[in-house]
Amino acid sequence: MKAGKRTLLLLALTAVLSAAPVWACTTLIVTVGATTDGSTFVGHSDDDDLCDQRIVYVPAADHPKGARRPVYASAVALGEFPKFRCFLTPRLVDPDRAPAYGGPAALRSVPLGFIPQVPHTYAYFDGSYGIMNEHQLMFGECTDGVRQNLDPEPGKRIFYSSELSRVALERCRTAREAVRLMGNLLETYGYYGTGETLPVADPQEAWVMEMAPSPDGTGGLWVARRVPDGEVFVAANEFRIRDVDPKDPDLMIGSKLFETARRHGLWKPEDGPLDWLKVASLGEYNHPYYSLRRVWRVLDRVAPSRGFSPWVECGTTRAYPFSVKPDRKLSLRDVAALFRDHYEGTPFDLTAGVGAGPFGNPDRFYGPYDGQGDVGDPKRKLDGAWERPISVTYCGYTTLCQGRSWLPDPIGGVCWIGPDKPSETCFIPFHVGVRDLPPSFQVVDPQVFNRKAAWWAFNFTAHWAWLRYDRIHADIAAKRDGMEASFLRSLEEQDRKALALHRTSPAKARDFLTRADRARADRTVADWWAFADRLIVRYNDGFLNEPGKMAQPLGYPRNWLDGTEWRSGPTTYAPKP
> What digits encode the pLDDT tens for the residues 37-64?
999 999 999 998 789 999 999 999 999 9
Each residue's pLDDT tens digit, 74-110:
999 899 999 999 999 999 999 999 999 999 999 999 9
Q: What is the DSSP string of 220-263?
A: -EEEEEEPPTT-EEEESSS----EE-TT-TTEEE-TTHHHHHHH
Q: Stretch 477-494: mean pLDDT, rounded? A: 98
Is-contact 309 319, C-beta < 8 A?
yes
Q: Mind listing the pLDDT tens digit for each residue in 122-167?
A: 999 999 999 999 999 999 999 999 999 999 999 999 999 999 999 9
Concatenate the DSSP letters of all residues of 138-181 into one string: EE--EEE--S--B--BTTTB-B-HHHHHHHHHHH-SSHHHHHHH
- pLDDT for 372: 66
CA angle at 74 for the pair 69 and 76, rounded to the nearest 5°: 150
Q: Which of 114, 89, 47 is nearest to 447 (CA)?
A: 89
Mean pLDDT of the chain: 94
Q: Could you give the CA distance from residue 127 to residue 39 in angstroms, rounded to a whole number? A: 23
Q: 426 CB contacts (<8 Å, ≥6 apart)?
A: 418, 458, 479, 480, 483, 484, 524, 528
Please check the confidence at residue 562 and state whether its pLDDT lies above 70: yes
**Cut 0.75: pTM above it:** yes
Q: What are phi and psi of 549, to 5 degrees?
A: -140, 65
pLDDT tens per residue, range 101-126: 999 999 999 999 999 999 999 999 99
Q: Could you tell me where the DSSP H helices lie in 48-96?
A: 75-78
| Rg of the chain on CA atoms, in Å | 24
Which amino acid is it at 18?
S
CA dihedral for 456, 457, 462, 466, sign (positive or negative): positive
Averaged pLDDT for residues 394-420? 98
Q: What pLDDT is stored for residue 377 in this prediction?
A: 62
- pLDDT for 19-37, tens place per residue? 343 458 999 999 999 999 9
Cα separation, 552 vs 536, whole angstroms: 15
- Residues in Cβ contact with 372 at an 8 Å cutoff, skipping those fewer than 6 apart: 11, 14, 15, 19, 20, 286
Segment holding 132, helix H or strand E: strand 130-133
Quick one: DSSP state of residue 429?
E
